[in-house]
């Protein structure tokens, strides 16, 4: 399956000599990695889902690959060049004389060290929180820059994906009864989201995305995470809801790193894009992405890994009842730290949607979360707009079965009542938590903050402390020690 087709072996030998090492092979391509250049050759194959059987088709799809990947990695992807035969009979690469016969086309790229690919980094355990935030920011910026594709039938496209995966899983030898049960559950999930998908398409959330956004197709390049190898051979598979594009990355992080990492990327992406609505489709999106790798890895001979993805595909569709958790308190009380810690443990994969008032406010002003805003951005009217957006997003997400965490001060009794009302409107249980800690500790925490979305100063804290009475209708948790606060919250959630 991973052999070079006979008609391309001479070219492969030429490129191997050029690179100085054997190629990296997949079932559809061969990549020859040299010291500072990599050459990608598409195999002369025709499969059920693609056709690279002729030189003209290979050139076409190499150019398409170059065009698509320059959206995210313009300096990684260099050009498409011919390999041609000189009069002496030897092969050469680059600009060819008009009369020279072209024997192959290749895509020239920069060479990336193996340890800089995110799948390798995940296996080595070196993916950091800072890298996760940068990764989410990169995907968010990519999606926001894409033009909407109007009139797209998302439900029809996903129905074809379900059936294609069902057939492929059977050919891979996965358990027939389990595959049938998965397909039936996926069809039900799709039927339940068909109207929602159509509304998303009408609202502009369908775009020509990456299409294959897993960890193996992301690398560190020029100091930042960069997506490459976008799906080029099937426009219908890559013209998708941005939530489905993101879901491949979330699923891969969940399975190859941990749920907390997937949750961090989800919530940073939502903070940057405002697309909290995408969680309504995550159960189906994650399941489809996991199912792809379930049969692919099984066919590759990695049955245990395929079984793990198959289990993830089935588990993603088993969505239980949702909950809305509100975490309030004075600045520095640890609301955001507690929300990040508990979110991966709540609800469906990859954990709860965190709606942080500071993130919403920054996005409304068109700046990154870490950018400071003037005091004028904190007026009463803006506060109402921020909380209004937060509650509206929560109602929709929770009603669709996804857990939600509010991260805001909730100093006003009216906002606390509105948080509970949002849960009631969504038909889910609600828990309000108020964090307390000594004022000197809160001051020390604020003084130590770096690169945080909160703009609160010690003066703001002191004014808030003087004007705020502890709520009597919410669970009070002592938050001087974050570990103990998390344990107390876990115990209360388990008991309710």
pLDDT at position 297 is: 92
pLDDT at position 304 is: 92
- Residue ranges of the domains in the chain? 6-111, 118-316, 323-495
Give residue 496's pLDDT band: very low, low, confident or very high (50, 70, 90): confident
pTM: 0.95
Answer yes or no: are the C-beta atoms of 127 and 121 closer than 8 Å. Answer: yes
Answer yes or no: are the C-beta atoms of 162 and 187 closer than 8 Å. Answer: yes
Residues 6+ apart with CB under 8 A from 235: 208
For CA atoms 350, 355, 359, 362, the dihedral sign is: positive
Picking from 50-64, 189-203, 292-306, which range would have the lowest pLDDT averaged per residue? 292-306
Picking from 11-15, 67-71, 428-432, 463-467, which range would have the lowest pLDDT averaged per residue? 463-467
pLDDT at position 290 is: 97
d(CA 457, CA 449): 10
Q: Which helix (H) or strand (E) holds 453?
A: none
Alpha helix stretches (DSSP H) within 146-203: 154-172, 176-202
Q: What value does the mean pLDDT take over residues 324-350? A: 96
Write the pLDDT tens digit of every residue in 439-453.
Answer: 999 999 999 999 899
d(CA 57, CA 70): 20
Answer yes or no: are the C-beta atoms of 272 and 363 closer than 8 Å. Answer: yes
Q: How far is CA 467 from CA 125, 287, 328, 375, 470, in A?
A: 46, 48, 15, 18, 10
d(CA 307, CA 285): 18
Give residue 14's pLDDT band: very low, low, confident or very high (50, 70, 90): very high
Give, rounded to a whole angstrom, the gap between the first and last alpha carbons of the chain.
Answer: 54
Residue 50 three-state SS: strand
Angle, helices 282-299/242-256, rounded to nearest 10 degrees: 60
d(CA 303, CA 313): 15
Alpha helix stretches (DSSP H) within 203-317: 235-238, 242-256, 259-273, 282-299, 303-316
- Kindly state the tokens that stand for 320: 């239980």
pLDDT at 211 over 70: yes
Beta bridge partners, 108, equal: 39, 79
Within 10 angstroms of residue 64's Cβ, the number of other Cβ atoms is 15
pLDDT at position 180 is: 97
Give residue 469's pLDDT band: very low, low, confident or very high (50, 70, 90): confident
Residue 256 three-state SS: helix
DSSP states of 169-182: HHHHT--HHHHHHH
pLDDT at position 1 is: 54
Q: Which helix (H) or strand (E) holds 364?
A: helix 357-364
Give residue 118's pLDDT band: very low, low, confident or very high (50, 70, 90): very high
Residues 6+ apart with CB under 8 A from 429: 321, 323, 324, 423, 496
CATH C-level class of 118-316: alpha beta
pLDDT at position 193 is: 96
CATH C-level class of 323-495: alpha beta
Write the pLDDT tens digit of every residue in 357-414.
Answer: 999 999 999 999 999 999 899 999 999 999 999 999 999 999 999 999 999 999 999 9
Residue located via tokens 């954990």: 351
């Amino acid at each position: 399956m991973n052999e070079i087709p006979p008609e391309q072996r001479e070219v492969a030998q030429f490129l191997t000599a050029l690179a100085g090492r054997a190629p990296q092979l997949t079932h559809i391509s061969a990549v020859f990695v040299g010291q500072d250049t990599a050459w990608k050759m598409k195999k002369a194959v025709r499969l059920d889902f693609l056709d690279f059987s002729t030189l003209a088709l290979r050139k076409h799809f190499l150019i398409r690959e170059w065009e698509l990947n320059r959206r995210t990695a313009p300096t990684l992807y260099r050009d498409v060049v011919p390999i041609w035969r000189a009069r002496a009979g030897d092969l050469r690469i680059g600009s060819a004389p008009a009369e020279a016969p072209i024997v192959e086309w290749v895509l020239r790229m920069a060479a990336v060290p193996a340890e800089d690919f995110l799948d390798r980094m995940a296996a080595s355990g070196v993916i950091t929180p800072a890298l996760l935030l940068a990764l989410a920011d990169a995907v968010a910026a990519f999606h926001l820059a894409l033009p909407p594709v109007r009139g797209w039938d998302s439900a029809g496209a996903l129905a074809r994906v379900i059936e294609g995966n069902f057939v492929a899983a059977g050919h891979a030898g996965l358990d027939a009864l389990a595959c049938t049960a998965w397909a039936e559950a996926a069809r039900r999930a799709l039927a339940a989201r068909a109207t929602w998908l159509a509304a998303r398409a009408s609202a502009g959330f369908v775009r020509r995305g990456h299409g294959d956004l897993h960890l193996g197709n992301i690398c560190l390049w020029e100091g930042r995470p960069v997506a490459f190898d976008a799906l080029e051979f099937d426009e219908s598979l890559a013209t998708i809801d941005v939530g489905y594009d993101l879901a491949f990355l979330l699923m891969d992080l969940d399975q190859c790193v941990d749920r907390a990492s997937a949750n961090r990327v989800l919530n940073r992406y939502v903070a940057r894009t405002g697309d909290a609505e995408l969680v309504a489709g995550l159960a189906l999106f994650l399941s489809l992405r996991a199912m792809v790798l379930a049969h692919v890895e099984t066919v590759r001979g990695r049955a245990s890994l395929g079984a793990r993805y198959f289990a993830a595909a089935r588990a993603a569709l088993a969505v239980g009842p949702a909950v809305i958790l509100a975490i309030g308190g004075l600045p520095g009380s640890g609301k955001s730290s507690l929300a990040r810690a508990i979110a991966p443990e709540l609800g469906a994969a990859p954990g709860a949607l965190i709606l942080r008032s500071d993130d919403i406010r920054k996005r409304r002003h068109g700046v990154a979360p870490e950018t400071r805003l003037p005091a004028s951005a904190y007026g009463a009217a803006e506060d109402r707009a921020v909380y209004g957006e937060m509650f509206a997003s929560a109602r929709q997400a929770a009603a669709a079965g996804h857990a939600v965490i509010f991260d805001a001060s909730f100093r006003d009794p009216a906002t606390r009542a509105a948080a509970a009302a949002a849960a009631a409107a969504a038909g889910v249980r609600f828990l309000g938590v108020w964090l307390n800690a000594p004022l000197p500790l809160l001051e020390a925490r604020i003084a130590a903050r770096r690169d945080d979305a909160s703009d609160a100063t010690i003066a703001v804290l002191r004014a808030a402390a003087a004007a705020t009475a502890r709520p009597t209708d919410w669970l009070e948790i002592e938050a001087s020690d974050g570990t103990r606060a998390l344990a107390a919250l876990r115990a209360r959630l388990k008991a309710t």
